[in-house]
Amino acid sequence: MEYAIVFLPLVGSIIGYLGKSLTKYFSEITTSVFVSLSAILSFFIFWEGINNNSYGNYKIFEWLSSGKFVANWSINIDPLSSIMLVVVTFVSALVHIYSIGYMSHDPHKPRFMSYLSLFTFSMLALVVSDNFLQLFFGWEGVGLCSYLLIGFWYKKNSANNAAIKAFIVNRVGDFGLAIGIFLIFFYFGTINFNEVFELTPQFLENKFLFFSFEINLITLICVFLFIGAMGKSAQFFLHTWLPDAMEGPTPVSALIHAATMVTAGVFLVVKCSPLFEYSQTALNLVTLIGMITAIFAASVALVQNDIKRIIAYSTCSQLGYMFFAAGVGAYHVAMFHLFTHAFFKALLFLGSGSVIHAFKDEQDIRNMGGVRKKLPYTYIFMLIGTLALTGFPFLSGFYSKDAIIEFAYLSKSPLGNYVVVVGILTALLTSIYSWRLFFKTFHGSYNNKQIPINDTHESPLIMLLPLFLLAVGAVFAGYIFKETLIGLHHNEFWQSSIFFLEEIKHEQVPLWFLIITPLLVTLAIPLSFYYFIYNTKILESFKNTNLPLYNFLLNKWYIDELYDFIFVTPAKRIGSFFWKKGDLGTIDRFGPDGISKLVKLIANKAGRFQTGFIYDYAFVMLIGLSILLTYLILN
């Protein structure tokens, strides 16, 4: 059963691609069925783990063996991987089914469905790994598949550029992860998780000379591992690829943002909690980057107009929540938010896809509005997703997001109080931009001048069914699993898959603290309706002032422009110099171009002797004979 969970998506990917010419829906049905079977088996594994503690490590084959160094290809099932299996396979299965309807008019559906299944397999290989090498294989696999899926519509320059950008930015993070793994292998002599974690206490005092600075070895390893997580989970400094990834089809956005690629970084930090717990410096870095990312992405989402980009920045912000939860030592709460977030974020992405489908690929919310009666089911599902994302009381996001702020308040982290302030402020901003998207999409007047409102229509059943199932998760997942994942007896579930050097004690917190976040996110609803629908002139006049704040947010804090100035433009100039002076001016000039010119010159000169007159040929023969005799006499 464990083998089937991992390899069914791979088999489906291969069969779906190779069998694309058999019948009309062969690839779509095959890939969807195989991933759905994997999802059903994942739920069974998760349930068996909770009730019967049935976990284990299943060796497939020995991958590398050199002396005492051994790296297997294994399927390691523990509480942490079991919950990731549920998240990945369930969302992926629904995305596959949704794609049958969403991509119905695309001529390359088999290739798309095959890529989705391959993406799922890569993520599953990552989360069930029992060593850093297999994890790195899955890590690079999801990076490759994201490149293929983001650039799926490869005839669009914007899609190609976005795919290349995602690939390159992730290579920066992956380089950091590779260095971290190299350090682990060099000092620990192994890359198996259990062996590394057991040996960690022996290296607490080891120092490493890094660029003339003496740094604690465990801290340096954790920092490099976190750099890898920053790239994959789009944290500040390495976040720039994520919004541009919206150039891919909407199902891709849901899969990347909700269940697979971006959660890999959070999974890595939680998986390596036995390392991070011994480095307060590394944990502080995780917390700091998480806080900056949360507030940065939420602020930028306030002014974006592309429906998918708003949700993309929301993902970035929510990942910041997960990281600063891990940074203060609440790893289990970070995973709980990852779990609930998968449902409502996939719901929002697929719901936005339904809206885009109704508006014939229009993505600007300024060209929408007034369609709540035309899209009644999509309206309800987007409402549920928005309520869950904002942390509205008693929906999934309420339980997990408030738990993060609460545990930060109770933690002994030196940044705990800052985390609380940033968490509450980010929750308020999240509510504002989420309701802005919702109200501008469905309420107010109809603003699309290209498409008559009567031409908009509800999505087919095959697209609405995944939305319904995700909506159920967005409503009930937090309440059902709160006690299991973060309750008083959460250790009974997590066991040794998460390590706590000093666990945060769940104590009573003040009542005002408990109600402040739900109160703010609730008050944001009428305020958002007033400013974005009822009286829009106030915000329009603010945008027309000379204050730089709006342009600062609209241009995403000018991070892309800064990177362009520091890295891209100098790299282009250096490349242009070496291309013109080195490649064209030196190599080509004296190499192939120079030799060809010389041969041509000699051939042209030699051609002048081909006159057709006997005395010219005799003269040439006489010169040749003279040269030969001279050579013989001299030697």
Identify the band that residue 599 occupies on the pLDDT scale cut at 50, 70 and 90: confident
Report pLDDT for 87: 92
The answer to whether 142 touches 121, Cβ cutoff 8 Å, is: no
For residues 74-78, give the mean pLDDT: 90
Report pLDDT for 423: 93
Kindly report, residue by residue over 544-587, the tens digit of the pLDDT.
766 788 888 888 888 988 888 888 888 888 888 777 777 777 77
Q: What is the DSSP string of 574-591?
A: HHHHIIIIIIIIIIIHHT
Short-list 56, 200, 177, 70, CA closest to 128: 56
Between CA 215 and CA 222, with CA 218 as vertex, the angle to 5 degrees is 100
Contacts of 482 (CB under 8 A, 6+ apart): 336, 399, 400, 403
Count of helices and strands (H, E) across the chain:
28, 4
Kindly report, residue by residue over 482-524, the tens digit of the pLDDT.
988 988 888 888 888 898 888 787 777 888 888 899 999 999 9
Residue appearing with tokens 């929002």: 348
Amino acid at 209: L
CA torsion 112→118→120→126, rounded to 10°? -150
Report pLDDT for 552: 86
The answer to whether 426 touches 390, Cβ cutoff 8 Å, is: no
The answer to whether 250 touches 349, Cβ cutoff 8 Å, is: yes
Q: Cβ-count burial of 533 within 10 angstroms (0-12 exposed, 13-18 middle, 19+ buried)?
A: middle
The answer to whether 159 touches 256, Cβ cutoff 8 Å, is: no
pLDDT at 259 over 70: no
The 10 Å CB-count burial string (b at 16+, else e) for 417-439 is eebbebbbbbbbbbbbbbbbbbb
The token pair that represents 491 in the structure block = 């250790």
The token pair that represents 147 in the structure block = 């490149």
Kindly report, residue by residue over 366-403, the tens digit of the pLDDT.
888 888 888 999 999 999 999 999 999 989 999 999 99
Residue 264 CA to residue 232 CA, distance in Å, equals 7
Report pLDDT for 21: 67
Residue 357 CA to residue 467 CA, distance in Å, equals 14
Q: Cβ-count burial of 357 within 10 angstroms (0-12 exposed, 13-18 middle, 19+ buried)?
A: buried
pLDDT at 529 over 70: yes
